[in-house]
Each structure stands twice: as C-alpha cells, then as structure tokens.
Amino acid sequence: MAMRARQKIRAPRRGLNTNKNDDFETNWEGLSTSLKKIHTKDASNLSFEQLYRNAYNIVLMMRGEELYERVKMLEQGWLDTEVQKRVTVAVSSVLLQAMDQAEIQDQENERRDNGERFLNVLKEAWEDHQVSMGMITDVLMYMDRVVSADHKKPSIYVTSMALFRDSVLQSVVRADADSTVADVLKSTVLFMIQLERSGQMINRLLIRHCIYMLEGLYETITEEESSKLYLTMFEPAFLETSRVFYKAEGRRLLETGDAATFCKAASDRIAEERARCTSTLSPLSEPKIKDVLDKELIGSNIAEVINLEGTGVKNMLDNDRTDVLRNVYVLSARVDSKKTPLTAAVQKRIVEMGDEINKSAIAAAQAQPTRSAEKTAGSGKKSAEKPVNLQTMSAIKWVDDVLGLKTKFDKIWEESFRSDPTMQSAITTSFSEFINSNTRSSEYLSLFFDENLKKGIKGKTDAEIDALLDNGITLLRYVKDKDLFEAYYKKHLSRRLLMKRSVSMDAERQMISKMKMEVGNQFTQRLESMFKDMTVSEDLTANYKEHIRQAGDPDQKPVDLEINVLTSTMWPMEAMSTIKGDEVQLPCVFPKEIDNLKQSFEQFYLSKHNGRKLSWQASMGTADIRATFHRSSGKVQRHELNVSTYAMVILLLFNDVPEGESLTYEEIQARTRIPDHDLIRNLQSLAVAPKTRVLKKDPMSKDVKPTDRFVFNNDFQSPFMKVRIGVVSGSANKVENQDQRKETEKRMNDERGGSIEAAVVRIMKQRKTLVHSKLMSEVLSQLSARFVPDVNMIKRRIESLIDREYLERVGEDPPTYGYVA
C-alpha cells in the first residue's frame, strides 16, 4: 500500500524538480500549432483530449503561468497581424473623411455602403475571435482553473477579449491618421442612426451585432458592468448626437405651431427610440435616451406647446379634445410628476371660465334689480310661472353653470388625465378658487337647494333627486365658508318649514344626511333640531286642542291654534325677527280674542314645561280669517283670507271701525305696536298689491307713508274663495340686498368670533402653554372645516381672551401663551 502511494506520487514531483524544458516545448509546440488551426477554422480534426492533455501536463509541470503568457503572446500576434489588417483595410477613405462632418448629403449613399461593408468585416472578425477563444478556453480549462485561481489573473478568455479591444478596436486606422477603428465604428453607427431618424431603412441587425461586440468588451480587466465599452465609448456620443437632434427637432415641431401635431410627433419619436434601443442598440440605453427625449424634446418645449395660441390646451379644453389632451398629459407626466405647465394651463382656464360664470350671474342679478323687486312684491306665489325673481334665477343659473363646468372637467380628468390625483387636486383648487371668489356662492348654493326643494324636485324620481342633491353637495365641498352656507341654509330651511313650502320631507332629510356625510355631524346638528322642533310642535298642537276640548272652553268662537314652538338657539331668530341692535321693541298688541288664546296656551305650555319662556314671533305666523264684504249692492261676499299674523291683527282692527271710517298709519301703529318695518310691508300687501287689496289707501301710491289713511275695502274682488295674501318680501326666499348682506356678515363675524374663542380655549385647556404660531395653526386647522378664519380676527380674539384673563402671556421670544385655569 505504502509503496503504491509513493510510487504514484512521484510523477508530478519529477516535473516539479527537474524542469524538462524539451517536454514543455514539445507540449507547447503541439498546442500552439493547434491553436493557430483553430483561428484559421481548421479545427474539426483536432482532438480535444490531446490538446487538453498537453495543457494539463504543462500545468502539472508547474509551468502554467508560462503557458498562460505564451498563449497570450500567440493571441496578440494573431490579432496584430491578421485581424487588424483585415479590419483596417475595410475602412474606406469616405468613412474617414466623413467622420468630422455631421451630414454630407451628396456622399450619403456611398458612405452608407462603405459603412455597412466595414461593419460587416468588423462583425465577422469579432465573431470569429469569440468562437476561437471559446474553443481555446475549453482546451485550456485546467490552466484557467489553476493559474487564474492561484495567481489572481483573469481567465485567458477575458485576457484575449482585452487583447481584441487593444489590438483591433483601438488600433489606428491609417498610419497618418489618428482615429482608431473604434472611432470609425462609432461615427458609422451614429451616421446610420441619423439615417434612420430621417426615415430611411438601415440594416438594424448588423448594427445590433456590432453593439453586441461593444457590450461584450470592457475597459478594465475586472469586467465591471459600468466599464463596458458600449457605455464608456459609444453611449455618450450617441446621447450627445441625440440631444442635438432632438433640440432641433423640438424647435422644428414648435414652428409648425400646432400642439396636436407636436404631441403626436413626440409620442412617435418616443416609441421609435424605444424600439431602436431594443432592436438596434442596447436596452441599457433605453432609460438614458428616454431622459434625453424628456429633457430636450418634451421638457423644454411642453410649456410652450401647452400655451400655444389657438391650438394649445385652452383650445383643447374648449373643444373637448380629450384624445389630444391625453397626449399632452402623457408627455407632461414623463417630464414632471407635478405637470406644472399643464396644471397651470388647466387651472387658468377653469378660473377664467368660472369667472365668466360669476360675472354673468352678477350681471344678470344687477340687470333689473329694481324691476325684479317690484315684480316679486305680491306675486311670490306665482314666481314659478314667471321669471319674476331674476336674482334668484341667476343664482340658480350660476349653480347650474358651475355644475356643468364641473361635469366637463370631470370627464376630461377621467378620459385624458387618467384620473391623476395631482390633476384632480389642481382642478379642485381652481374650482374652489373661483367659487370662493364669488362672495355670494354660499347664498347662491343655499338658494339652489331651496329652489329645488320647493319646486325643482316635483315629479322627479328618487334617483334624479339624489343626483341633483349630490351635485349640490359637490359644490358645497368647494365652498370655504361653510358656516355662512349653514346660516343661509338655516334661514331658508326655517322658512320652508314654517311656511310648509317643502315638497317632500324625505328629500329634506336626505339632504341633511348628505350634508352630514360631507361636512360632519356638528354642522347639521342645528338643522336636525329644527326638524325635531317641528314634530314636537305638531304633538303639542294636538295636545293643546285636546286640552281645550276637555276644559270645555266657553268661548263661542274658538280660534284654531296651530303652534310651532322653536328652540331659540337653533333657529335663525335674527333672520326672522326684525329687531335690530339693542332697540327695545314692545311686543305687538294682539286683539282680545287672540290675546286670550295666547294666554291660555302659555298657561298650558308652562304648566307642562316649567321655567321656560315663550316669546311670540308674530312676524312668522299666518292666520286664516273669514272676512265678510258688504257690497254696495247690498250683497254679502265672503272670502277666506290667508294672511300673516300681523295682517290679521291689522284687519281685526277694522272690525271695530265703523263702516266708511278710516284709520291712519299712525293710529294703526299706536294700537298694534307692530314694528314699522313689518307694518309697512303688511300694509303694502293689504293695500297696494293689486290682487289682494283688502284695504284701500288714501292717497293711492306705492309707498306707505305715516300720514296715509286706510279704509276697509268692501269692494274687494277675487275669483277665488280662498285668497292668499303674501307679505311683500321676506316671505319668499331670495337673494339678499346690500343691507341684508351687511347684516348677515356682521352676524357671521360675531358668530365666528365665538367659534374662534371657543377653539382657542379648547386648545389651550389641553396644552396649557403654547407658542403663538402653533396656536394659530391649530386654530386654523380646527376651524377649516367650517370656515377660513381671518388671522387678524384670531389675534384680536386672543387679545380679548387675555384681557378677560382666560389666557396669559408666558414668554416673549417666541411669544407664548399660557392657560389660566
């Protein structure tokens, strides 16, 4: 056993100890002639086993490194003498001359033919080299394993590839010229690409093969990905020429002056370059050429394209050219995730169109302000048939127009902007911008709801109503001052409820729940309690009637009382009563019958609810009275008059006035103590309105003056048994006049002041101490759901809270507040 082991081991040791040079030489000789045969494609009769054994033996002799060097030399020699010559011969003078000039039209064909020939030769040389080296590497497998592993040398294949790079690609083409084969290759390929860009057919496959070569060669021996010749040598030049080309291309396209054409051409170019990267060049370049395109062709031109006069985005939006817009969007999205020029253009257009709508609404409202006011007087009931209230109409038209605009842009957003969230927020911003630039938007919107709930939804299906309300809600989303909207809505709602003008209570409730979803619980709380008051009041009325019946009231002429008890904090009392400021207003003097009734109810109510205070709002009520008209002919005509409570009080006065006698305005006022404002309006509707002239006024004029005298009009004529006598203005919901607006604003500001203080205290109670700027931002964020508070107002409120010792100043730099418990 031992003998065997020893004996077998000796063989390699001999090679190690006695360098038998002749052995090495014999082995090498056999090997080198065979390697040459491989290069001359004469290898089919060579025996792999024999060549391998030659190499193996040399390596076992510990002379692997020498072998490695010899093979390297052999390859160097082969490349230098044979291959290099073959390649340089193929470089024609046309190619050399053309290198510097970018475009020479007259030599185009010649250059092209020569170029293809050259590329073919180069490609063949490269492929031959690859195949031969593959075979040689196979044979030298063992050497590679030993030498490369032990001595950290690159494998022979890698080395020979580097040799090809140095000896062939980087060899000088002519003795007198300093351009290398690689330079010629580069300029030729770029020339071909130039040809293709200008619309000619080229041999893509051939170029692809040459690019394969550049991709397979590296600058360094370690073969890092980034040192590919393609990346170091060819790609920068390619990108540079592309940059120049697309800069010019962009300018050329802009000169055509048509945005649609530009977008089409740009999209085509993008597709073309992508195809070029996969079929002709290397996929590695795809992102880079994309960058070039984005920067040169799109990025620097897109803003101009979007703003092109006549064909730009404005035109596309106006003509609903969704397909072109989509192109614009796609291009913009490539260069800029924010798509600034496009959003700017779209926003600008939205605001423009919005402003137009605003303007037309204001124009319509102001067209005949006086006339419309006149017309509404006394004909509020018939406003459905006639375009009486232009302002209300214009408010509704405004909402409709805005909704139309919204639908249009929603469609564009979906179809052209691929539901891009950035675009959506841009559109939303611009809508909210122009909607809020119209100071009356809250009022208009509330009027829109009012109009629809009163009349618009008659005969519509549930789904239609739903859609209608939803549209309104969408606009509500844009309105910043939600509290203002709430105030108007409350006002309009209270009228609808008290006057029973609502078409469908279901729709009202639906509306409330929609608002709740959109704006929040707090917002609708008061509205809901208004509804609650209404139902409670119904029960109350029924109970009171029951109570009267049981009490067996001796009153011969019972007056039916239908009462609505309203929680004063929930209802817009300010809007209903006409009390202004601190002016003390004595309550209206009711006729005796009514006063009895009032006292009886008060008794009934207070016995049920102890500690409450009832205040009567005569201005809100209505009354049905039966009037008897003694005609001069002796006939007696009866009419049932539906009038406001004040009107009833006025009319009842005339019960005690003898036939033919008259009462002056002052007398009436003295007896009833009805506020001036209400009295004038009621007298107007009773004595001025042509169809409901129950009283006669002297002198006959439109205005009611304190000196006017009134007399009961026994000649009152009406085709109907029941006559409804509305009160001039105030009864119908319509656009406020300037004074009212100021009023509302003032109220709004007071209310906001309260909200702000509440918010400040809430925050401070929680935080104890807080820096001024942080407090501001928290207040703003807390209140933004309802309205956008004025910063100065917040400051004033904070000052006031400090004065009242809710807060104290803690530090000056930065200004800090503390909560005083």
Partner 1 sequence: MSEPTVLRKDQLEISLHNEKKLIKEGAIKDDNPLDLSDPFRELCAACRKGDLKVCQEKISEGVNINARDPYDYTPLILASLCGHYEVAQLLLESGALCERDTFQGERCLYNALNDRIRNLLLEYDYSKSTDPIQPLAAHISSLITRDHPVTSDIVVTAEDESLYLHKFILSARSPYFRTKLAAAPDTITWKLPNTIPPQAFAAAIKYLYFGEASRELRSGPGTGFTESEVFTGIDRIAKHLEIDTLVDSILDSGDRRLARQRRTAELTKGRDQLEEWFRSNVLHNKLVVETSKAGDVKWDRNNAIFADVLLQADELLGDTDEYSNGALQPGDCADTGSKEQRQKSVLFPCHRAMLLRSEFFHTMFSSQFREAHLEDHLHIINVDCSPDVLEIILMFLYTERADFPLDVAVDVLFAADMLFIEKLKTKAAVVISTLGSGNMSQAEAAKTRGTTEEDDLDIYAIIRAAWMTRVQRLEEFAARYLAYRLEAHIDSPEFAQLIQESASRIQGRQETDSIELLDDIRFYLGERFRLRFTDAGLEEMMEEEAEQHATGAITNDGSIEEVIHGIETIDLTEKGVEQTSQRGQDHDHDIRNLNGEIVGDEFDQDSMNYDILMDKLDQILESLDLEA
Q: Which residues bind partner 1 (CB under 8 A)?
A: 1-2, 4-14, 16, 43-54, 56-57, 60, 131, 135, 138-139, 141-142, 145-146, 149-151
Shortest distance in whole angstroms from residue 55 CB to partner 1: 11
Q: How far apart are the C-alpha atoms of 365 and 470, rounded to whole Å?
A: 26
Q: How far apart are the C-alpha atoms of 683 and 297, rounded to whole Å?
A: 76
Which lies closer to partner 1 via its Cβ, residue 146 or residue 435? 146
Other CB atoms within a 10 A radius of the CB of residue 439 amount to: 14
Pairing mode of beta strands 722-724, 636-644: parallel
* DSSP string for 351-381: HHHHHHHHHHHHHHHHHSHHHHHHHHTTTGG
Residue pair 391/369 in contact by the 8 Å Cβ criterion: yes
Shortest distance in whole angstroms from residue 127 CB to partner 1: 14
Which lies closer to partner 1 via its Cβ, residue 151 or residue 677? 151
Which lies closer to partner 1 via its Cβ, residue 96 or residue 131? 131
Residue pair 328/313 in contact by the 8 Å Cβ criterion: yes
Angle between helices 421-437 and 462-478 in degrees, nearest 10: 80
Which lies closer to partner 1 via its Cβ, residue 14 or residue 722? 14
* DSSP string for 612-670: ------GGG-EEEEEEEEE-TTS-EEEEEEEEEHHHHHHHHHGGGSPTT--EEHHHHHH
With residue 537 as reference, give the H or E element that holds it. helix 521-551
Which lies closer to partner 1 via its Cβ, residue 32 or residue 510? 32
Which lies closer to partner 1 via its Cβ, residue 50 or residue 220? 50
Which lies closer to partner 1 via its Cβ, residue 149 or residue 467? 149
Which lies closer to partner 1 via its Cβ, residue 149 or residue 275? 149
CA quadruple 359, 360, 361, 365: dihedral sign:
positive
Shortest distance in whole angstroms from residue 11 CB to partner 1: 5
Shortest distance in whole angstroms from residue 147 CB to partner 1: 12
Shortest distance in whole angstroms from residue 49 CB to partner 1: 5
CA quadruple 77, 78, 84, 86: dihedral sign:
positive
Which lies closer to partner 1 via its Cβ, residue 23 or residue 304? 23
Shortest distance in whole angstroms from residue 257 CB to partner 1: 56
Which lies closer to partner 1 via its Cβ, residue 139 or residue 161? 139
Q: How far apart are the C-alpha atoms of 341 and 413, rounded to whole Å?
A: 16
CA quadruple 206, 208, 211, 215: dihedral sign:
negative
Closest CA relative to residue 142, chosen from 61, 45, 88: 61
Shortest distance in whole angstroms from residue 43 CB to partner 1: 6
Which lies closer to partner 1 via its Cβ, residue 8 or residue 702? 8
Pairing mode of beta strands 622-630, 636-644: antiparallel
The answer for residues whose C-beta is within 8 angstroms of residue 1's C-beta and 6 or more apart is: none
Q: In what order do the strands lie in the sheet with 622-630?
A: 622-630, 636-644, 722-724
CA contacts within 13 A on the Cβ side of 528:
12
Which lies closer to partner 1 via its Cβ, residue 4 or residue 613? 4
Q: How far apart are the C-alpha atoms of 748 and 317, rounded to whole Å?
A: 38
How many DSSP H helices and E strands does the chain contain? 36, 9
Closest CA relative to residue 736, chosen from 440, 430, 494, 535: 440
Residue pair 533/490 in contact by the 8 Å Cβ criterion: no
Shortest distance in whole angstroms from residue 53 CB to partner 1: 6
Shortest distance in whole angstroms from residue 71 CB to partner 1: 17
Q: How far apart are the C-alpha atoms of 485 and 510, rounded to whole Å?
A: 17
Q: Where are the beta strands (DSSP E) in 166-274?
A: none
For residue 119, is it left (φ>0), alpha (ψ between -120 and 50) or beta? Answer: alpha
Preceding peptide of 690 cis, ω within 30°: no
Which lies closer to partner 1 via its Cβ, residue 49 or residue 255? 49
Residue pair 224/158 in contact by the 8 Å Cβ criterion: no
Which lies closer to partner 1 via its Cβ, residue 145 or residue 765? 145
Residue pair 694/651 in contact by the 8 Å Cβ criterion: yes
Q: What is the CA radius of gyration of the chain?
A: 48
Which lies closer to partner 1 via its Cβ, residue 145 or residue 252? 145
Shortest distance in whole angstroms from residue 15 CB to partner 1: 9
SS3 content of the chain, % helix, strand, coil (to 5): 65, 5, 25
Shortest distance in whole angstroms from residue 223 CB to partner 1: 21
Pairing mode of beta strands 769-771, 815-819: antiparallel
Residue pair 424/341 in contact by the 8 Å Cβ criterion: no
Shortest distance in whole angstroms from residue 18 CB to partner 1: 11
How many residues belong to the chain? Answer: 821
Shortest distance in whole angstroms from residue 8 CB to partner 1: 5
Which lies closer to partner 1 via its Cβ, residue 1 or residue 201? 1
Which lies closer to partner 1 via its Cβ, residue 57 or residue 394? 57
Closest CA relative to residue 26, chosen from 48, 65, 53: 53
Shortest distance in whole angstroms from residue 327 CB to partner 1: 41
Shortest distance in whole angstroms from residue 26 CB to partner 1: 8
Shortest distance in whole angstroms from residue 64 CB to partner 1: 11
Which lies closer to partner 1 via its Cβ, residue 56 or residue 126? 56
- Coil/strand/helix, residue 770: strand
Shortest distance in whole angstroms from residue 155 CB to partner 1: 14
Q: Tokens 């020979």 identify what position?
A: 160
Shortest distance in whole angstroms from residue 180 CB to partner 1: 32
Alpha-carbon 51 to chain mean position? 74
Other CB atoms within a 10 A radius of the CB of residue 644 amount to: 24
